């Protein structure tokens, strides 16, 4: 993916750019609001990572608003030290697609960026069926089958699996699951999400040969075929 | 009568006193200091009082003066008119001789010797009366004239009126008002002296008003300035009269109490930060340093770094919780307040935690009405409840039951928001509970009861719950159960939907019995 990174702190910028490049993305960098805005409007990116507080008179929200006012729908991930609910709301209202607060784990950033990049592509047709190597999910009848065998899931387990399947092949972090499946925007200090995932595993993976739900160390989970 | 009043007299009067006291050290600056100048509210207040008192006394005295003077004038006019009427009747009854005789009689009977009569014929010749000749200025009849007359060698002032009689006779009736003007002078002098005394009294009164004002204000000023200089234990003394000054003093004391509590909180937090954050930071640092110096292979280096990162993540979490508490406690976070149904929110949280409880061998029961409209910040309520459930799960024994119960009722604390409807939301477990002393301190930041030392956590969960409950205008209570602990939140409900919710539950939740409610929603895994 072609990613624009607008961030003024050189350490954070270098760290993020290096990490993204290593995972196979093409990264353009800007260290102030003016350059960032120029790049954002003049070139085409798959995802923009935008720091909120920027030097140069133009802050992240201004860039975002300018982009959206020009009908530019590039997914934007806001990266900010402002962790308030109010700040998050302001960022999302200005047109942000996701909001990540500093300090952050790179794995979380990567997971979110990739989710954003993919979202842009498959938003066109509403899906009614999801399938990953023998695991089938019918979103209309709300039924799940694996290798033709029916799996009974609780409603919340169904949504959890749906979220994982929609992000198949990507790392999904615990906070992404909390936000996406439960719509919670705080950090429960315990391992509640792990417990839910392990229950889902009991039903989806245990009776079958190859596991589909993998734990990604220090990051989260991933649904993939191998 | 009353001259225009300016503030100068009062200002000058006090310097005069000062001058008397210490002539040698008189300087303009010292003067201004002692008077306080017009910038001093006390001086302005006193001046206002003085001017008001002075002007009203002046007006009052003037009214008395004018009233008395015009009364005397009217008396003269009335008696002259009566006299003239009687005399003209005499003329029409008995003619000229009877009239002259009556005049002579009247003059003889006049003890005060203030009556003036003169009857003249057509050619101006004097027929009767006590005036030697017709006074020249008196030309027209029925008009009042004020004359200077000379009688028996004494000059006096007289008020006279002339009347035309038939056959060109003329009659002059009047009164010598010398006595009246003496009276008027006397009255004027008296009133003037009275006014002088009032002026003096005004200054004395102003001085008292000012010192009284100063006394009232100075205790407040002294206290607040002592506080400003760091003496947080000073309070404004109350007079005990319960007057406005006491009300102000009480309000100030209340404010000072709150400031002191906040300051103590800050102090306690900074101590706690110093202690509780240094420990994990030190640990992370030591680990990384040790790895940098002694790690033999990549794997041990990697695992040391990972542990360091996870320590740092914990520190970040503690920081975030602290910031959040501080922010909520500051009370500014009301922008996200909205009306929402509390029940789906609660059942979602219970559903989230059920597997975790199940793993620990305990179960969660939710006892609640089906719908309950609530006004507040949804995300914060979620967090508060999940903190409580999280705690309960942590301390729940094997096979224990965690109960989340919701009931509506009326405020159990009558002094606060009297009669308001509240929702009672309680989370109780069957764990080891808390001692009374621990319950007192449970919501302090970083406080961890001895029983909880070995469980994971930062000691901020209940502080956050407390802050959230306070932000919603509620009360957080801890109650010991045997066994277990019950944490109860009393939260005010919006007033308008009281009627339609009223039938769901009528009792406060601590009066229920687990078995007698058929409508329970029992969730059990």
Q: What is the pLDDT of residues B446-473, one digit of tens each?
A: 776 666 556 666 678 888 898 889 888 8
Answer whether B461 sits within 8 Å of A189, measured CB to CB: yes
Domains of chain B: 333-516 (3.30.565.10)
pTM given for the model: 0.60
Pick A86's closest partner by Cβ from B335, B348, B458: B335
Question: Is there a cis peptide before residue A35, judged by omega within 30 degrees of 0?
Answer: no
**What average pLDDT does the segment A114-140 reach?**
78
Measure the CA–CA gap between A77 and A112, rounded to whole angstroms.
Answer: 8
Which of the residue ranges A60-64, B26-30, B318-322 has the most confident prediction, judged by mean pLDDT? A60-64
Q: How confident is the model at residue B441 (pLDDT cuts 50, 70, 90)?
A: confident
Q: Which residues of A touch B461 (CB under 8 A)?
A: 189
B336 touches chain A (CB under 8 A): yes
Task: Pick the residue from chain B with its C-alpha nearest to A177.
Answer: B352
Q: How confident is the model at residue B111 (pLDDT cuts 50, 70, 90)?
A: confident
Domains of chain A: 2-120 (3.40.50.2300), 129-223 (1.10.10.10)
For the stretch A46-55, pLDDT in tens is 999 999 888 8
Task: Pick the residue from chain A with its C-alpha nearest to B353.
Answer: A192
Examine the pLDDT at B27 and tell me if it is beyond 80.
no
Measure the CA–CA gap between B364 and B352, rounded to whole angstroms.
Answer: 11
Task: Pick the residue from chain A with its C-alpha nearest to B393.
Answer: A190
Measure the CA–CA gap between B480 and B487, rounded to whole angstroms.
Answer: 9
Answer whether B355 sits within 8 Å of A195, measured CB to CB: yes
Examine the pLDDT at B417 and tell me if it is beyond 60.
no
Q: B10-19, B22-31, B211-220, B488-497: lowest mean pLDDT where?
A: B10-19
Q: Which residues of B touch A184 (CB under 8 A)?
A: 352, 379, 382, 386
Q: How confident is the model at residue A6 (pLDDT cuts 50, 70, 90)?
A: very high
Are A18 and A11 a contacting pair, CB within 8 Å?
Answer: no
For the stretch B161-204, pLDDT in tens is 888 877 788 888 888 877 777 887 888 888 889 888 988 988 88
Please give the pLDDT value at position A196. 92
Task: Pick the residue from chain A with its C-alpha nearest to B333.
Answer: A86
Q: How confident is the model at residue B16 (pLDDT cuts 50, 70, 90)?
A: very low
Answer whether A188 sits within 8 Å of B386, measured CB to CB: yes
Examine the pLDDT at B512 and tell me if it is beyond 60.
no
Please give the pLDDT value at position B326. 79
Average pLDDT of every residue of chain A: 87
Measure the CA–CA gap between B81 and B98, rounded to whole angstroms.
Answer: 19
Q: How confident is the model at residue A18 (pLDDT cuts 50, 70, 90)?
A: very high
For the stretch B287-323, pLDDT in tens is 888 888 888 888 888 888 888 888 888 888 888 888 8
CA–CA min distance B515, chain A (Å): 28
Please give the pLDDT value at position B346. 92
CA dihedral B411, B415, B418, B419 (to 10 degrees): 40
Task: Pick the residue from chain A with its C-alpha nearest to B461.
Answer: A189
Please give the pLDDT value at position B20. 42
Query: How many CB atoms are closer than 10 A to CB B520?
Result: 15
> Which carries the bigger pLDDT value, residue B433 or residue A48?
A48
Measure the CA–CA gap between B457 and B243, rounded to whole angstroms.
Answer: 51
Answer whether B355 sits within 8 Å of A192, measured CB to CB: yes
Which of the residue ranges A96-110, B178-192, B255-269 has the most confident prediction, judged by mean pLDDT? A96-110
Please give the pLDDT value at position B404. 92
Question: If you count residue pairs, one on A and one on B, with CB atoms under 8 Å apart, how many are there?
Answer: 57
A122 touches chain B (CB under 8 A): no
ipTM given for this complex: 0.80
Are A48 and A40 a contacting pair, CB within 8 Å?
Answer: yes
> Which carries the bigger pLDDT value, residue B12 or residue A146?
A146
User: What percent of chain A stands above pLDDT 90?
Assistant: 26
Q: How confident is the model at residue B507 (pLDDT cuts 50, 70, 90)?
A: very low
**Residues in Cβ contact with A102 at an 8 Å cutoff, skipping those fewer than 6 apart:** A12, A79, A80, A81
Answer whether B379 sits within 8 Å of A103, measured CB to CB: no
B348 touches chain A (CB under 8 A): yes
For the stretch B321-378, pLDDT in tens is 888 887 787 766 677 788 999 999 999 999 899 989 988 889 999 998 888 899 988 8
Q: Please give the biggest Cα pair distance in chain B.
A: 157
Please give the pLDDT value at position B28. 55
Answer whether A83 sits within 8 Å of B320, measured CB to CB: yes
Q: Which residues of B touch A182 (CB under 8 A)?
A: 348, 352
Q: A192-201, B8-17, B239-248, B347-356: lowest mean pLDDT where?
A: B8-17
Q: How confident is the model at residue B285 (pLDDT cuts 50, 70, 90)?
A: confident
Which of the residue ranges A42-51, B45-54, B106-115, B325-334 has the most confident prediction, judged by mean pLDDT? A42-51
Please give the pLDDT value at position A160. 92
Average pLDDT of every residue of chain B: 77
Q: How confident is the model at residue B2 (pLDDT cuts 50, 70, 90)?
A: very low
Please give the pLDDT value at position B29. 58
Measure the CA–CA gap between B517 and A60, rounded to whole angstroms.
Answer: 55
Q: Please give the biggest Cα pair distance in chain A.
A: 59
DSSP assignment of B162-202 equals EEE-GGG-EEEEEEE-HHHHHHHHHHHHHHHHHHHHHHHHH
B525 touches chain A (CB under 8 A): no
B124 touches chain A (CB under 8 A): no
A189 touches chain B (CB under 8 A): yes
Examine the pLDDT at A96 and tell me if it is beyond 60.
yes
Q: Which residues of A touch B462 (CB under 8 A)?
A: none
CA–CA min distance B510, chain A (Å): 28
For the stretch B198-238, pLDDT in tens is 889 888 888 888 888 887 778 888 888 888 888 888 888 88
Measure the CA–CA gap between B16 and B488, rounded to whole angstroms.
Answer: 70
């Amino acid at each position: 993916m072609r990613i624009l990174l607008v961030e003024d702190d050189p350490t954070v910028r270098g760290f993020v750019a290096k990490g993204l490049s290593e995972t196979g993305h093409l990264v353009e960098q800007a260290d102030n609001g003016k350059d960032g805005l120029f790049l954002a409007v003049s070139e085409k990116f798959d995802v923009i990572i935008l720091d909120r507080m920027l030097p140069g008179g133009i802050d992240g929200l201004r860039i975002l608003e300018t982009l959206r006012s020009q009908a530019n729908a590039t997914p934007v991930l806001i990266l900010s030290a402002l962790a308030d609910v109010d700040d998050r709301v302001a960022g999302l209202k200005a047109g942000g697609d996701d909001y990540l607060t500093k300090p952050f784990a790179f794995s979380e950033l990567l997971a979110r960026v990739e989710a954003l990049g993919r979202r842009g592509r498959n938003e066109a047709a509403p899906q009614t069926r999801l399938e990953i190597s023998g695991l089938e999910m019918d979103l209309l009848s709300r039924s799940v089958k694996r290798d033709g065998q029916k799996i009974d899931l609780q409603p919340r387990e169904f949504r959890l699996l749906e979220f994982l399947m929609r992000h198949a092949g990507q790392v999904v972090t615990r906070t992404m699951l909390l936000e996406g499946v439960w719509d919670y925007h705080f950090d429960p200090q315990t391992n509640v999400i792990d417990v839910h995932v392990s229950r889902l595993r009991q039903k989806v993976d245990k009776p079958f040969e190859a596991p589909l739900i993998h734990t990604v160390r220090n990051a989260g989970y991933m649904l993939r075929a191998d | 009568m009353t001259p225009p009043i300016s503030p100068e007299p009062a200002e000058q009067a006090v310097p005069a006193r000062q001058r008397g006291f210490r002539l040698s050290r008189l300087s303009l600056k010292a003067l201004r200091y002692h008077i306080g100048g017009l910038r001093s509210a006390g001086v302005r207040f006193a001046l206002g009082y003085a001017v008001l008192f002075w002007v009203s006394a002046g007006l009052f005295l003037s009214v008395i003066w004018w009233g008395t003077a015009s009364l005397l004038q009217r008396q003269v006019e009335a008696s002259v008119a009566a006299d003239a009427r009687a005399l003209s009747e005499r003329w029409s009854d008995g003619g000229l001789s009877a009239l002259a005789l009556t005049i002579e009689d009247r003059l003889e009977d006049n003890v005060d010797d203030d009556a003036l009569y003169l009857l003249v014929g057509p050619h101006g010749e004097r027929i009767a009366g006590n005036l030697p000749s017709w006074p020249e200025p008196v030309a027209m009849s029925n008009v009042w004239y004020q004359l200077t007359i000379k009688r028996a060698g004494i000059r006096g002032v007289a008020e006279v009126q002339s009347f035309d009689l038939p056959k060109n006779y003329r009659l002059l009736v009047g009164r010598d008002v010398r006595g009246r003007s003496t009276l008027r002078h006397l009255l004027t002098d008296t009133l003037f002296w009275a006014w002088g005394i009032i002026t003096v009294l005004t200054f004395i009164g102003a001085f008292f008003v000012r010192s009284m004002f100063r006394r009232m204000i100075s205790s407040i000023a002294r206290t607040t300035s002592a506080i400003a200089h760091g003496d947080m234990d000073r309070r404004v003394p109350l007079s005990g009269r319960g007057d406005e000054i006491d009300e102000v003093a009480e309000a100030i004391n209340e404010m000072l109490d709150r400031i002191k509590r906040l300051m103590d909180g800050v102090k306690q937090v900074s101590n706690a930060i110093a202690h509780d954050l240094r420990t994990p930071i030190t640990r992370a640092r030591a680990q990384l340093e040790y790895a940098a110096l002694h790690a033999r292979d990549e794997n041990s280096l990697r695992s040391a770094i990972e542990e360091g990162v996870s320590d740092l993540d914990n520190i970040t979490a503690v920081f975030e919780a602290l910031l959040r508490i501080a922010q909520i406690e500051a009370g500014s976070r009301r922008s996200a307040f909205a009306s929402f149904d509390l029940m789906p929110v609660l059942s979602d949280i219970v559903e989230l935690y059920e597997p975790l409880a199940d793993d620990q061998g305990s179960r969660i029961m939710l006892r609640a009405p089906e719908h309950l409209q609530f006004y507040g910040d949804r995300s914060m309520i979620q967090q508060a409840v999940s903190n409580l459930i999280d705690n309960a799960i942590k301390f729940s024994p094997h096979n224990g039951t965690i109960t989340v119960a919701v009931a509506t009722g009326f405020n159990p604390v009558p002094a606060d928001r009297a009669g308001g409807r509240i929702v009672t939301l309680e989370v109780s477990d069957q764990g080891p509970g808390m001692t009374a002393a621990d319950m007192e301190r449970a919501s302090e930041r970083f406080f961890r009861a001895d029983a909880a030392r070995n469980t994971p956590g930062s000691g901020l969960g209940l502080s956050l719950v407390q802050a959230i409950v306070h932000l919603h205008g509620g009360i957080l209570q801890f109650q010991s159960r045997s066994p277990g602990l019950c944490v109860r939140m009393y939260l005010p409900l919006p007033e308008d939907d009281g009627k339609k919710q009223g039938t769901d539950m009528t009792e406060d939740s601590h009066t229920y019995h687990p078995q007698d409610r058929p409508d329970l929603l029992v969730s059990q895994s």
